[in-house]
Amino acid sequence: MYYIRDNKKRRIEMGVNLKGKSFLTLLDLTSDEIRYLLDISKQVKVERRAGTPTSRFAGKTLAIVFEKRSTRTRTAFETAFGEEGGHAVFLSKDDIHLGVKEDLKDTARVLGRMFDAIAFRGFKQETVETLAAWSGVPVYNGLTDLYHPTQILADFLTIEESLGSLKGRKLVFVGDSRNNMANSLMIGSAKMGLHFVACGPKSLHTDTAIVDKCREIARTSGATIEVTEDIDLAVKNADAIYTDVWASMGEEAKLQERIALLKPFQVNRELMERTGRSDTIFLHCLPAVKGNEVTEEVFESPASRVFEEAENRKHTIKAVMIATLL
C-alpha cells in the first residue's frame, strides 16, 4: 500500500488534494475524495493491527471542542491523533468561550493560532462552518444537528469490509429519517452510487431540499435515492439495515412521543427476516437504546457490525487528518 507513503503521488493520480481543507459535510467532497479517504483508512487500520509504529503528527496539536458529550467521537480523535505522535487538547463548552462573552469568529482565530487543526462536535452547523471560515486551519465536523460526516466514512468502511463493495449496495435507514445520520447517509450514498432508502413515518421524513440535492447527485453517480413509509418495500433485498436512536441529544422530552410513532419501525428479528436474505448486516452509529430502535437480539446477532463501525471511527478519522494535515 502506498496511499500515505507516496501521498503526493497518490493525490496527483486521483486528482485529489485535501491538504489544508476542512471536513464539514460530505456535500463538499467528490466521490474520488471519499474513495481516497477510505483507502487511507484501510492502510492505517492494517498498520494499527500490525503494531507498526508511526508518528505522522509529531509536533502537531489538535483542539477537540465539544458542546455535546461523546464516547466514540472523542476517543477516536484523541487516540487517532495520539497514535501518530500528536498532542490533542480537549475543550468542553465549560472550558472556553464558545459564542459566550466572545465573538465566535474571535475564538476561531485564537484557536487557529494555537492549534494545527480543530475537531468540533455540537449543535449548529453554522458553528463548525464559522470555525472553519475564521480559524485558518482544518476543522473537522464530529457531529452537528444537520450532519455527521465522520460517522459515514466509518459506516462505508464497515460495509466494504463486510460486503466487499459499496456501489449498488442497498442501504436502508429505518426510523427518524430527518436526523443528521439519515441526512449524511443519504448524501454519502448519493456520492458513492448506493441504493439508499430512508424509511420512517412521513412526519419524520428527510428534508426535501436534501432529498432533491441527493437525487441530483445520483443522476451522475448511478445511485438510487428513495424515501418511503412502506417497510416491506424498503427492506426487501437490503444489503444493510441501519438505525439510530429515536430521540437525539437535546430531544429527550420528545422520547415518549417518538416511541409511539416509531415502534412499527423497530429493527427486530421480524424486520431482518423481511429482507428475504440471510446475509443482511445490521449497522448502528451508537449509543443504542436496546428495546427501542433495535432489539437486544438483533444488536447481539451475527448480523451486527456495530463494534466494527465503532473501531472504524478511529481509522477513518485518522485518515481525514492525514489527508488534510500532511
Residue 313 known to be catalytic:
yes
- Which residue in 169, 205, 284, 313 is the catalytic one? 313
Residue 244 known to be catalytic:
yes
Q: Say which residue the cell 449524511 belongs to.
A: 184
- Which residue in 43, 169, 285, 305 is the catalytic one? 285
Q: Say which residue the cell 491523533 belongs to.
A: 81
**Rounded to whole angstroms, how far apart are CA atoms 171 and 151?**
15
Residue 195 known to be catalytic:
no
- Which residue in 148, 169, 205, 305 is the catalytic one? 148
Q: Who's near 300: CB < 8 A, 6+ residues apart?
A: none
**Rounded to whole angstroms, how far apart are CA atoms 187 and 156?**
12
Residue 285 known to be catalytic:
yes
- Which residue in 151, 176, 195, 239 is the catalytic one? 151
Residue 269 known to be catalytic:
no
- Which residue in 244, 258, 284, 315 is the catalytic one? 244
Q: Are strands 240-243 and 170-174 parallel, antiparallel or unpaired?
A: parallel
**Rounded to whole angstroms, how far apart are CA atoms 255 and 268?**
19
How many of the other CB atoms lie within 10 Å of CB of 216? 11
Spell 124-133 as b/e; 16+ CB within 10 A means b: ebebbbbbbe
**Rounded to whole angstroms, how far apart are CA atoms 101 and 107?**
10
**Rounded to whole angstroms, how far apart are CA atoms 218 and 190?**
5
- Which residue in 121, 258, 305, 315 is the catalytic one? 121
**Rounded to whole angstroms, how far apart are CA atoms 293 and 28?**
30
Q: Who's near 45: CB < 8 A, 6+ residues apart?
A: 157, 312, 315
Catalytic annotation, residues:
121, 148, 151, 244, 285, 313
